Amino acid sequence: MTKADLVDKVTSLGDLTRRDGEVIVDTMFESVIGALRADDKVEIRGFGSFRTRKRNPRIGRNPKTGARVDVPAKRVPFFKPAKELRDLVNSEAKARTESDNHVDPHHPPPM
């Protein structure tokens, strides 16, 4: 799903213009980014939480030359899905697997 698909979903929910949908989606993304920049945690119940994790400085290697490269410390965004989201994703995969295993007696799979 792309950002444009998400905007289309939002605009289809009510009496909104495409511009209104774009503003809603952009505002949500900007809010999450702003909170992460401020080193805050964003928690959306039933969906998951966004936070930053600190990566320590390390010595890396340039893959082309093999030379040592100092990689500085940095913060990276991290998403942890909520249990409800994990269960929903796994139940969909389980249902799909069960339907894939079903053999129609009138139309057996080719051998």
The single-letter DSSP state of residue 107 is S
The arithmetic mean of pLDDT across residues 30-51, rounded, is 96
CB 82, CB 49: distance < 8 Å: yes
Residue whose structure tokens are 């893959």: 63
- This prediction's pTM: 0.70
Model confidence over 43-85: pLDDT tens digits? Answer: 999 999 999 999 999 999 999 999 999 999 999 999 999 999 9
Could you tell me the pLDDT band of residue 15, with boundaries at 50, 70 and 90?
Answer: confident
Structural tokens at position 43: 């928690």
Check whether 22 has a pLDDT greater than 80: yes
Distance CA 57, CA 55 (A): 7
CB 53, CB 30: distance < 8 Å: no
What secondary structure, in 3-state letters, does 78-107 show?
Answer: EEEECHHHHHHHHHHHHHHHHHHHCCCCCC
CB 16, CB 54: distance < 8 Å: no
Exposure of 71 in the CB half-sphere (CA atoms within 13 A): 13
Check whether 34 has a pLDDT greater than 70: yes
Give the pLDDT of residue 105.
61
Residues 6+ apart with CB under 8 A from 39: 52, 75
More confidently predicted of 16 and 101: 16
Give the bridge partners for 14, in sequence order.
none
